[in-house]
Amino acid sequence: MTATSRKDSKGRKLHTGESQRKDGIYLYRYTDAYTGKRTSVYANDLPELRRKEKAIAKDIDDNILTDISTKNLTLNTLFERYLGIIVIDDGTKINYQNMWNIHVRDTIGNIKVVNLRASHIMSLYSGMSNDKYAHNTIKYIHLMIFPALEMAVDDDIIRKNPAKNALSSEYGEEPKKKEALEVSEQQRLLDFMNKSNIYRKYIPLITIMSETALRCGELIGITFKDIDFKNKELRIDHQLTYKNYKDGNGCMFRIKKPKTKAGIRTIPLTDRACDAFREQRKQNFQAGIFCTFEIEGITDFVFLTKNGRPMMPNALNNVLYNIVKNYNSCTDGTQTIEQFSSHVMRHTGCTNMARAGINVKATQYVMGHAHSDVTMDVYNHLNNKTDVKLEFSKFEKNGTKMVQ
């Protein structure tokens, strides 16, 4: 018995799996090799259907998934899957989600991963650049998109990563240089605070910031238990954060462990730092302020509000803002100081160590950096005339003399 070949309405022979509906639409059905499910693709004419069949055959040969749910996977869904797999702390995850929602979700997030091209991603970065976003912000977005798509490559959803060469150094504004405070600026601020009935109480705080170069979260997370006055040491093994973790509880304090082993350290304290900690404890006692808060088993925080709660990060920066604002209002306009954040105070503390001639590796340890190049490239701002003169005076004092 001879098999009867199937044909379309134009008399063309149809291959296995092909058919034509009554409305003229062409259909190709096949079994997905991974899911075992019967899957269909459609086309308006036979040549278009054959092109789709060819693409499916290539995907199957290359072990690329071909089921409908995979083909319909959007970048947003892929990112959510990626975010659920990687191991990061809650704070970082929230930052990722917020940045994604602002910049990606409604721009290229709804594009199907299989249809996503480098031009889509480059267009996103270009648009952000035109909107005057910093290069580091665009890079931050890229560091979410790229690994998510790399996971899609590893999962055989796509053959290659369209984000691979999408990031250019030309995208975005150059980062503003975070200048450390000059020695004279630090001294003028302390002199102003010492004469102020309002800001004198913050001298221990400012002193500790400049002497230790701690991160904001490390600073506000210090407890008196962390301080070893006898050996003049400070143990750093946690940070204190305050944000909305989107768990229905609103904004709250949490203890955050360092991201790297380098963040866990015991740093030496100068006599100035030890005296500042003692003065802060004395101020708390005289004001009748005692720590009433316990966060994940940690209590007895050093820097407190009048209600005995730990200081929040934004409160710390508000203190710095108000000090500078009021200092500037008392000057004749020739010695004003630019507004700065707690991060600039960290720069300042590190630069003070460099000015004092402390070895880079020692400074790296105190800063909690995993790599010394971060210490060198980001934090050491020995670039003004005063700093250069200071370095040359050290050279003159300690340098090798020429034989006469």
Q: How far apart are CA 54 and CA 43, in angstroms?
A: 13
Beta strands 265-268 and 38-43 are unpaired
The 3-state DSSP class for residue 134 equals strand
The maximal CA–CA distance of the chain, rounded, in angstroms, is 114
Q: What is the dihedral of CA 130, 134, 138, 144, to 10 degrees?
A: -150
Q: How far apart are CA 209 and CA 215, in angstroms?
A: 9
Q: How far apart are CA 35 and CA 138, in angstroms?
A: 37
> In 196-335, which ranges are continuous DSSP H helix?
203-212, 216-220, 271-286, 313-329
Sequence-distant (≥ 6) Cβ neighbours of residue 54 within 8 angstroms: none
For residue 18 the two structure tokens come to 């092909």
For residue 36 the two structure tokens come to 């075992």
- What is the predicted pLDDT for the residue at 65? 62
- What is the predicted pLDDT for the residue at 401? 45
Q: What is the pLDDT along the chain (404 residues), one digit of tens a residue?
A: 444 568 888 889 898 888 999 999 999 988 776 667 788 889 999 999 999 888 877 777 666 665 666 788 899 999 999 998 998 888 888 889 999 999 999 999 999 999 999 999 999 999 999 999 989 899 999 999 999 999 999 988 898 999 999 998 888 887 777 678 999 999 999 999 999 999 999 999 999 999 999 999 999 999 999 999 999 999 999 999 998 877 767 889 999 988 789 999 999 999 999 999 999 999 999 999 999 899 999 999 999 999 999 999 999 999 999 999 999 999 888 899 999 999 999 989 998 888 888 888 898 999 998 887 777 764 445 655 555 565 556 545 654 444 44
Q: How far apart are CA 103 and CA 171, in angstroms?
A: 15
Beta strands 233-236 and 239-244 are unpaired
Q: How far apart are CA 354 and CA 392, in angstroms?
A: 13
Q: How far is CA 193 from CA 197, 233, 274, 325, 372, in A?
A: 8, 27, 19, 12, 34
Kindly report whether the global pTM for this prediction surpasses the value 0.75.
Answer: no
Q: Are 21 and 27 in contact (CB under 8 A)?
A: yes
Q: Are 138 and 125 in contact (CB under 8 A)?
A: yes
Q: How far is CA 314 from CA 145, 199, 317, 326, in A?
A: 30, 17, 5, 18
Sequence-distant (≥ 6) Cβ neighbours of residue 345 within 8 angstroms: 181, 206, 209, 210, 213, 320
Q: How far apart are CA 160 and CA 172, in angstroms?
A: 26
Identity of the residue numbered 265: R
SS (H, E, C) 156-167: CCCCCCCCCCCC
- What is the predicted pLDDT for the residue at 2? 45
> What stretch of H or E contains 394?
helix 385-398
Domains and CATH numbers, the chain: 1-63 (3.30.160.60), 72-155 (1.10.150.130), 183-394 (1.10.443.10)
